[in-house]
Amino acid sequence: MMRRIPVRHVRSLRHQQGLSLVELMVSMTLSLLLLTALATLYFNTSRARNAFANSGEQIENGRYSLDIMSREVELAGFFGLSNLESSAVVSAPDLCATDPASLGFSGSPATVPLAVQGFAPGTVAPCLPNLLPGSEILAVRRVSTTPVSAAAVGTPYLQTSRCADDTVPLVFDASAPAFKLRTKTCDSTVPAELRAAVVRIFYLAGCDQCNGTGDGKPTLKMAELFNGGFRVQAVAEGIEDMHLSYGIDLDGNGAPDCYIADPGTDNSAICTGVAAYDWSVALTNWHNVTAVRVQLLARTAKVTDGWTDQRTYDLGRAQASGPFRDGYKRHVYAQLARVANVAGPRESQ
């Protein structure tokens, strides 16, 4: 027997027939608009986050580079507890010298190397791999701030005498039997402390990871004297230009009287404060450097969408750097570092 559907229920089914085509199209359009807005918001947020991270990394690299270089300059010329830097003769070793006899130390007469020395672009430096052709170079020389009681094989050490009966004021060698100088007690059983030689050279390389063709990232690097050679490590990537200005003490009071790019040349036309100063001896001029102004140009690791760098950057040279007309963002970082071990003793004279 067939069941008969009530009339009222049939009418109810007829009223629940779903969305019309127009309603469906309007819903789909609104949904697409909403999805487009959300996608745009996500894209802009992601791009802003990447740009922020890019700029943050650039700031960190620039400031970290300044911090490392400034601390090394401030320690430059430290040659132990004896005031050798101000009392000894100074020498200018070859930039890539590694042999202990060539590092600028001598006991008779007492001789120590320059605390800081700069080298112009184009300097031949086989110990500095991937050196950018336009890079300036800064060499810092000193001894370790931490003394040791026994010499390690292959490492050159400085030993300074505190005993008036010792025949030489210092011994610099990589052989343990050579170290016979004594402390102020002049007890032969208590030898004077040993401090390892430190040579650190800062320069710009064209790559961070330089295997094969390299990654193309300009990088501040440091070559350090180690086990009879130089080992190179990256300080910070993205540093694509560096300019160094040297503060010269012309009157012997420890304070720089003018800043110049190359103390090895005659700068009498620039530094007019002390007319009687003799610029003819380049070694003396470098020995009178009591401060170094470090200026770095750092760029982001990645390009920024929609950005073209049309700016110029003043690093203290006669001509500004740029414009580069690429997608990297850049910033100049600068800091003045005092060569305390050279300037300090002069202030008390």
- DSSP letter (8 states) at residue 5: P
- Can you tell me whether residue 58 is helix, strand or coil? helix
Beta strands 110-113 and 89-91 are parallel
Please say if the pLDDT value at position 82 is more than 80.
no
Domain residues for the domain of 274 are 47-347
Cα 209 to Cα 4: distance, rounded to the nearest angstrom: 85
In tens, the pLDDT along 110-146 reads 999 999 999 999 999 999 999 999 999 999 999 999 9
Residue 235 lies in a domain: yes
In tens, the pLDDT along 194-248 reads 999 999 999 999 999 998 788 999 999 999 999 999 999 999 999 999 999 999 9
Please say if the pLDDT value at position 279 is more than 90.
yes
Amino acid at 197: A
Residue 84 lies in a domain: yes
Higher pLDDT, 280 or 53: 280
pTM for the whole thing?
0.86
Asked whether the bond before 6 is cis by omega within 30 degrees of 0, the reply is no
227 neighbors 234 (Cβ within 8 angstroms)? no
Cα 207 to Cα 216: distance, rounded to the nearest angstrom: 5
308 neighbors 327 (Cβ within 8 angstroms)? yes
Please say if the pLDDT value at position 44 is more than 80.
no
pLDDT at position 320: 95
Task: Count structural domains, the chain.
Answer: 1
Mean pLDDT score of the chain, rounded to an integer?
90
In tens, the pLDDT along 220-231 reads 999 999 999 999
Please say if the pLDDT value at position 348 is more than 80.
no
Residue 39 lies in a domain: no
DSSP bridge partners of 131:
205
pLDDT at position 305: 82
Cα 176 to Cα 153: distance, rounded to the nearest angstrom: 8
pLDDT at position 20: 78
Residue 270 lies in a domain: yes
Residue 10 lies in a domain: no
Residue 18 lies in a domain: no
Residue 24 lies in a domain: no
Residue 40 lies in a domain: no
Q: What is the mean pLDDT of residues 167-196?
A: 93
